[in-house]
Amino acid sequence: METRFLADDDLDAVHATFLEAFSDYVVPIAPDREQLGRMLRQRSADLASSVGAFDGGRMVGVSATGRRGDEAYVIFTGVVPASRGRRIAGAMFDRLLPALAEAGVRRLSLEVIRGNDRAVAAYRRAGFVVERDLACFTLAPADVVPADPPDGVTVTRRAAADWPSWTRFRDWAPSWQHAVPSVERTEGEVVLLEAVEGERAVGAAAVLVDGAVLAGLAVAAEARRRGIGSALLAAAAAEVETLRILNVDASSVADAAFYPARGARPLLVQHEMARRV
C-alpha cells in the first residue's frame, strides 16, 4: 500500500472510491460525479493537499482536504470495506500532516457522526480531539409549526448577494460547510430570509436549496423570545420539501430548545474534532 497526493486526473477514482467506502455508511450518501465535484468546490478542496491510498495501483482509500488560510478541513476520509483494519486512514494522515505544516496550516478539523466508533478511534489515533458536538435535525412539512412574525416585523426573501446579514446575529461559529466561504461558493440556489423591524434587520436565515439544508438561522440577541426565530424557520421550511437542519452547536441552550420546540426531529449528532498541525 502506498499513499500520494492527488491531482485532477484522480477525480474519477476519488468518486469511485468514495461510493465504495461510503456504501455501508450510517447515512445513505451516494453523490454522482457532478455532485461530488460541487461538494469539493464548496468546501474549498485542494487536491494537492488531498491523499489517496493505493494497493496495486488501485485507489482503496481517499482523504479530501479543504484549505482556507491557515486552516484545513477533512472533507471526507474513506477506505473501501475490503481494505479496512490496516491503518490506511492513519497512513493518509501521516502523509498529509507534514505537508500541511510545511504550507503554514495550523489547524486541521473534521466532522464525524457520533457512534461511528471505528472512525472516531482512527481520528483519535491521528491526534484529533472532540472540540464540540453538532446536532442535526429534520423538519418535515407535516411537522412545521406555522408561525407569523410578531407585530411590526416582516420576513422577506433577499437576494443571495445580501447573505452576510445572517452572520451578524449568531452566538456560535458555524461548521466549515456552513461558514461564510462555503455559502459563497455554493453553486446551487441560496435563499436568504431576513426579519426586519422598522428599518432594522433583527434576524436572518440561509437555506441551501440543493440538499434542502438550513445553513444558518439567528436572531439579534435583543429581539429573541418574540417568535422571530419561529417565523424564520417556518419561512425556511417553505422553501424546500423536508428541511435538514445540520450542525447546530449542541452547547447552545437556546438552539437546543428551539428546533425541537418548532417541530424538528433529531437526526444524529456529529463530533467536530480537530488537532493542531
Run of H or E including 247 = strand 243-249
- Give the contacts of 75 (CB within 8 A, at least 6 positions apart): 39, 40, 43, 45, 64, 65, 66
Minimum distance of ligand COA from residue 137's CB (angstroms): 12
Binding ligand COA (rule: CB under 6 A), the pick from 82, 154, 257, 276 is 257
Segment contacting ligand COA by CB under 6 A, of 49-57, 90-98, 101-109, 248-256: 248-256
Q: Hey, what's the cell of 180?
A: 461564510
Run of H or E including 78 = strand 71-79
Minimum distance of ligand COA from residue 257's CB (angstroms): 3
Run of H or E including 261 = helix 253-261
Cα separation, 178 vs 166, whole angstroms: 12
Cβ-based burial of 199 (10 A; exposed 0-12, middle 13-18, buried ≥19): exposed
Return the residues of window 11-70 that contact ligand COA according to CB under 6 A. none
Segment contacting ligand COA by CB under 6 A, of 98-106, 121-129, 183-191, 219-227: 219-227
Nearer residue to ligand COA within complex by CB, 180 or 268: 180
Return the residues of window 197-216 that contact ligand COA according to CB under 6 A. 216
Binding ligand COA (rule: CB under 6 A), the pick from 226, 244, 246, 250 is 226
Q: Binding of ligand COA at residue 229 (CB under 6 A)?
A: yes
Which residue type occupies 82?
Answer: A
Return the residues of window 83-112 that contact ligand COA according to CB under 6 A. none
Minimum distance of ligand COA from residue 105's CB (angstroms): 24
Q: Hey, what's the cell of 105?
A: 496550516
Q: 10 Å Cβ neighbour count for 201? A: 18
Binding ligand COA (rule: CB under 6 A), the pick from 101, 261, 265, 266 is 261
Cα separation, 276 vs 247, whole angstroms: 22
Minimum distance of ligand COA from residue 264's CB (angstroms): 10
Segment contacting ligand COA by CB under 6 A, of 2-10, 154-162, 184-192, 228-236: 228-236
Cα separation, 227 vs 58, whole angstroms: 55
Cα separation, 235 vs 202, whole angstroms: 15
What radius of gyration, in Å, describes the C-alpha atoms of the chain? 20
Minimum distance of ligand COA from residue 262's CB (angstroms): 6
Q: Which residues bind ligand COA (CB under 6 A)?
A: 166, 169-172, 174, 216-219, 224-230, 253-255, 257-258, 261
